[in-house]
Structure formats: structure tokens, C-alpha cells
Structure 1
């Protein structure tokens, strides 16, 4: 009989000093509230990952320790984006401010993802160390949320403020603002909403979902409960409809792996959808349209704005389909010019087509698919951590249809280090289900 049981090597791991890179990653995650208050998140995380990547760069490691295909795919996406960026910047004469903003976006986006996923292959960074730091950070959601709600209901809505150190960072300041909870309508009901350590509430929904499934591996039961509660509350108060839908989806994916239905999952989905639609005398299109309409009506204005910007982005891409525009150059306005947003503000897929064209889009899809496929085999073989990682990646790929990956990746940079650490430990193991317990917390008997 197959059974999960905790491994008892915690006292031994505590007595061994953590390597330098592991300590840096641990404390950088743990001090997230500090970076948020100082307004340094967009600087600290990519700089830390780049510093550790350079510090661990060694020709011997490159030769003897091969990186997974997905790591090279993200590096390929970085280089493809750089190439198209240069073409776009050349068309405007390499304006200094635009050039700096474009390269910094690339640095804290695709390059940071590549760096974070590569760090565990060049440094000793254990999965459980990342999980412990994320658990403490997730638990802190409860403290900050309590403070924000007390301020909201006790003193009323408060103005956002820009931390002093954030003023020294060039570029736009919106993502650096420290914001307080506020009341926003949801299905016409006024409810509190906040973004905590992120720049936008939907990003908090993504972080809450990813942190929840990462923290399932926490061995300290009390901390685990606080971390899961904090992650779930963050997910709920973000009012991110798509994140809410993706949360049970991840559970379904995990269940399919554990029940042996993963290979037949798509058949079950199609069959059940057809059955329900037939039972209600609806076409497949109408069956999908009904919940989608309810989903969009929850925040009708937001849904319409997103749809408008995405459609305008696709229209702009059609003017330069192969290499894109290289930079964000155009905007879309509506409401008699009251609302103006840059093209590519929402969907990552539309943004990649618009900025990098079909050329960059091919590299982007290769990076997404290769990363997902890296976890398929160990997940099928019974690795519980890889099953969660696979489910989280599927959810993330759906979520980036609504929010740009290059904008929000900075706020869950630890997720990519976790992915790299899982792949690194899988690579070190023999393909034997009796050894999957070394990945974090579980073992098979």
C-alpha cells in the first residue's frame, strides 16, 4: 500500500550551516515586507538573482552539469526579446530613457526567470529551504492584512505613498507605491480589496495560489497552517476571478496524477462537458458562454477594458507580424480619452506578439511548453512535488493571459527558484519512486 509519511531529518539539516547562496535566497524571501516598505522590490530580486548567477558561473559546471532544456529555452527567449528590442530602439534612435526602461524590463523579466531557474544547478539550494522562507512570508500576509483592514474600517481609506528610496529608481513609479486596502464593488457588493506586497490585486491572486501549493510541503505543522491560511486569504481578497478558477483546477490536476487519470484527463473533460451541455440542451459554445458571462459580470468594467486593450494590441501586431514593434510605443484610449493605457498591458500572449512578433512568440511558447514538460515524467511516476509544480504551471499559463508575465514575475521570483530546485533534485535522483521523498517532505512505502 502506498502511503505518505514525513521524513525525520530536520534536526540533522538544522545542524548543518546553509551555503551562502541558500542563505541569501532565504533571507531575501523572508524580508519581503522590508523590501516592500522601502520600495525596492523591483531592484532587489533581479539584482540578487543576477549576483548569485554570476557568482556561481563556472566553466566546469557548464560542462559537467547540464541544464534542463527549459532553462536554455528561457535563455533563448531572453536573447530573442533582446534582438527584437534592439530593432525597436533603433527605430527611435535609442532614446536614453526608453532604452534603459526596455533593458531593465528584460532584466527583471525573462532574464530573471532564466537566472532563478538556473541558480539551484550552480548553487546548493534545497527545496525545503525555499518552502520554509515562503511559508514565513505567506504567514505574514495575515499580519499585514489585519493591519490594513483595521486602518480601512477604523480610519477610512488612506492615500497611497511612494517610499523615499523608490524615488531614486528611474522609470515609472506606479509599481513601487505602497498601497492600502480599499473598498471595491464585486458583483455589485462593496468588499475590501488589496494587493499587499504586489503592484496590483490580480498579482496577489497569482502569488496566493502559487504560495499555497508550495507551502503544502512545509514540515512545521503550525507554520504550515498559518502559511496556507495566509496564502488562501490573499487569494480571496485579491478578487482575482481567474485565480479563483485556477485554484480548484490545480487540485484537479494533482488528483488526476494520483488517481492515474492524467493521461486520459482531456477525454474526461471533453466527455463531461458534452454530457452536461446535452443534458441542458445547450451547444458547447452556449454552455461555455453562460459561466463566462457571469465571470465577466463580476467586474464588468475591468473585463471590458482588458478586452479592448487586448484587441487593440492584436490589431497593432498585425501591422508588424514577424518581428513585432520591439518596444511598447503605442497606446489605446477610450471614454473620450479619459482612460489611456499602453498596448500590451494585459495578456502576455498578445504582448509577446505585439513586441516580439511571431519570432519571439515561438521562443516564448517553447519556453512555456518545455518547462511544463520537464515536470511531466516525475509527476506521472508519483513525485508529489512535481505534481504540484505541474498544476501550478498550468494555472500560471492561464493567468498570464490576463496579466503580463514580465510585469508580475518580479513578485513571485521565488517560484522560479523553487522550480529550478525541484528539477535539480530530480536530476540528482535515480528514477525510482522510493527516492522521491528526498525532494522535501514525503516518502513512499
Structure 2
């Protein structure tokens, strides 16, 4: 498998070079920049496009992509107005806008550059290569823990370019979970749950690989990432999304509709039992990492309270550090919706809800006949589930391959 044009070369080497970029601390930079490079390339292609351009070479931008562009521009508008409402320094607006370009902006940029001539099978293979590299390199990370080597040997000097925190430029061999003193691994991501996030993305891409050897390497590598990340959401997501995707893409089959109808009837008869089972599951889920759950719940309460009382419409404009009670973590972190409410208000919340809903409905219809749309549907489901455990914008530099599809 080799790239055959400029966009494919950029994407191919950016993905398969994941561990190399991570080693030098450049992964955050690469993921944040390549989308804008490809956007410039797309702009040039559109500029040169004329009526004489052959139909198979013409570039058209889908309606859902325009909706994502509009939604992310509204995010920037909310950011600016939030700064204005709280009389923040104008220089901070520029800094925050750069952050938008490296975060929310990418959720519009990568779907947009996806209209370029990029073969999906190239993405599938690249994902499998990263999963294979994970299986290949992981013994080094595990051995580092067994030998009690330093958790974080160094922070890349590339940190000077700026980013959310040192974790995005650090080379970390392993980490110890303070809640249970057990090891967990984050590999090329800034924290362990983010590795589980990427495992989900790569898993559903690997399923599409036609080469049996690469497909199984991709599946094995992605599941392995889920396990070593020790992320509850990762293990839940990979199962739920797999089942939901199958059900939603087979709605046209009479047997599925009959099964769903029968299932609804049985569910109505067992409502109390199901509700009790859900409460038990939720309790077990929380008890798996009680300290983490406590911090997340407290952060959510603070975000909701301050958002509703101080800036319900446009938000505060910037992320603010939480109190000691939440270990000084940013208010609204670990949850996309609470983060949006606090920083960008209801306007920002709607700016994500609407594009996500439109994409879901569009892909749901197309996925009944298209394998590519089926993968896209899986990606939108993953993103939705992870809005409840991560801030989507801060990890967009990692999961962008899932946005290009």
C-alpha cells in the first residue's frame, strides 16, 4: 500500500509515523498542522477548478460538511463574545483563537479535506500499521514498568511552541493509577483514557481492512490498547458501538425490525428489572475508579452551577482552573458538554449538537447500503460516547483520521 498523491502522502506518513513523532514530542504539532496544510491544498484545487474540469476530478463539498464548518465557526464566535463579555485581554482572544484552530476548528477542517482524492483503504491500512507498531513496541513500555524505570524520561523541547500542557509533549513509559496503585499505559496519547479513545477509532477502521493479516493485527492491536489503557469507557464504547452499528445498519432487514419490536415488548415487561440492573452497573462502573468518578461529578456540578449563574448563553470564553476539591483540574474538563456550557454557553453546545445530529442522520441513511458510511456512523457514535468522558476538541489532533473518512 503506497500513497499516490499529495494528500495521501501527508495522511499516510502522518499516521504511520505516530510513534516517531511521539518520540520527539511532535505528535501534537503534526496533528494540529496537517489539516490546515491540506485545507490550503484544497483551496488551491477549488480555485483551479473550472467548468472544463472532468467530472471524476471535480470536488464537491457535502451539505453535512458545510454544517460542521458553520458549527465550528459559531464556536469561534462564542469564544470571541465570551472574551468580550468578561473584558478579557485582547491578546488572550488571539491565543484562544489559535487554540480553536488546533481544537474545534479541526472538527470542520478534516471532514472538509476528506473531499480530496483520498482512498479509504489507505486509512484502513495506516490504522492497522499503528496497531501493529503498538504490539511491536509495547513490550518496551511494559518492561520499563517492571524494571522501575522513570515514568517520564523527558519532555520534548518542542513544548516551546505551546500547547495545552506538558503532557502533550512528554515521553511517558507508563503511569501508576493513584486510585489503585496499578500500572496503566498511555503510549502516544496525553493520558490513558485517550489511548482507549484511539483504540476505538482504530478498531473500526481495522475492521474494513481487506488483507486478513493486517486486519487481525489491527483488531488485536486496538483491543490491546483498550486493555492496557485501563479505561472503563474504552471497553464499554468498543462493545456498544459495535452492537449499535450492526443494529442501525440493518434496519432495512425485516428480521431486525421484528427482533427490535419483540425486544421493545420484552423491555416494557421488564422495566423495573432493567432499571435496577442499570443502577447496579452504574454503581460498579463508578466503584471501578471512585476517585476519578468523584472528581468528574464535582467538576460537572461546578460547571453547571457557574454556567447557569454567570454566563448561560455565550459562556466564559476561557477555561478556568478548578479548586483543590477537584485537584485543580480545569472546570468542564473530562466532559465535552459541561466544558462547552462553561466556556461557550448554550450557543457552543448547540454548535456541536446540530452538526453531530445531522451527521448521524445522514450516515444512518447512507449506511444501509454503504460500507464507508457504516464506518462513518461508527465514528460519530464513538465521538458521541466520548463526549461524556473527554473534551473532544483537545484530542482532535489524535483522532483526526476518523474525521477524514
- When normalised by structure 2's length, the TM-score is 0.88
For residue 28 of structure 1, what is the aligned residue in structure 2? 14
What is the aligned residue count?
Answer: 392
Residues 263, 51 of structure 1: CA spacing in aligned structure 2 closer, same or farther, 3 A cutoff?
farther
Residues 246, 21 of structure 1: CA spacing in aligned structure 2 closer, same or farther, 3 A cutoff?
same
1:141 aligns with 2:134: yes
For residue 94 of structure 1, what is the aligned residue in structure 2? 89
Segments of structure 2 that go 5 or more residues without pairing to the other structure are 52-57
Where 2:210 maps in the other structure, the secondary structure is: coil
Deviation track 1:135-170 (CA, whole Å, cap 9, x = no partner) reads 111211112221100111123453352012223436
- When normalised by structure 1's length, the TM-score is 0.81
Residues 331, 55 of structure 1: CA spacing in aligned structure 2 closer, same or farther, 3 A cutoff?
same
Segments of structure 1 that go 5 or more residues without pairing to the other structure are 1-12, 419-445
Where 2:246 maps in the other structure, the secondary structure is: helix
For residue 55 of structure 2, what is the aligned residue in structure 1? none
Q: Which moved more, 1:392-401 or 1:98-107?
A: 98-107
CA contact (8 A) 2:68 2:107 kept: yes
1:342 deviates by: 1.7
The 5 A counterparts of 1:387-406 are 387-406=374-393
Q: 1:384 aligns with which of 356, 371, 377?
A: 371
Where 1:340 maps in the other structure, the secondary structure is: coil
1:110 deviates by: 2.1
CA contact (8 A) 2:316 2:343 kept: yes
CA contact (8 A) 2:78 2:344 kept: yes
Where 1:360 maps in the other structure, the secondary structure is: helix
Deviation track 1:31-54 (CA, whole Å, cap 9, x = no partner) reads 111211121222212211101111
Where 1:343 maps in the other structure, the secondary structure is: coil
For residue 213 of structure 1, what is the aligned residue in structure 2? 204
Deviation track 1:36-92 (CA, whole Å, cap 9, x = no partner) reads 112122221221110111121124659974422221122112211111211233334
Q: Which moved more, 1:128-137 or 1:158-167?
A: 158-167
For residue 56 of structure 1, what is the aligned residue in structure 2? 42
Where 2:114 maps in the other structure, the secondary structure is: helix
1:82 aligns with 2:76: yes
1:294 aligns with 2:284: yes
CA contact (8 A) 1:241 1:295 kept: yes
Q: 2:340 aligns with which of 343, 347, 352?
A: 352
Q: Distance in 1 between matches of 2:191 and 2:260?
A: 33
1:223 deviates by: 2.0
Q: Which moved more, 1:83-92 or 1:25-34?
A: 83-92
For residue 244 of structure 2, what is the aligned residue in structure 1? 253
Residues 277, 78 of structure 1: CA spacing in aligned structure 2 closer, same or farther, 3 A cutoff?
closer
Residues 94, 303 of structure 1: CA spacing in aligned structure 2 closer, same or farther, 3 A cutoff?
same
For residue 432 of structure 1, what is the aligned residue in structure 2? none
1:202 deviates by: 0.8
Residues 171, 215 of structure 1: CA spacing in aligned structure 2 closer, same or farther, 3 A cutoff?
closer
For residue 45 of structure 1, what is the aligned residue in structure 2? 31
Q: 2:98 aligns with which of 91, 101, 104?
A: 104
For residue 307 of structure 1, what is the aligned residue in structure 2? 297
CA contact (8 A) 1:135 1:224 kept: yes
Residues 273, 146 of structure 1: CA spacing in aligned structure 2 closer, same or farther, 3 A cutoff?
farther
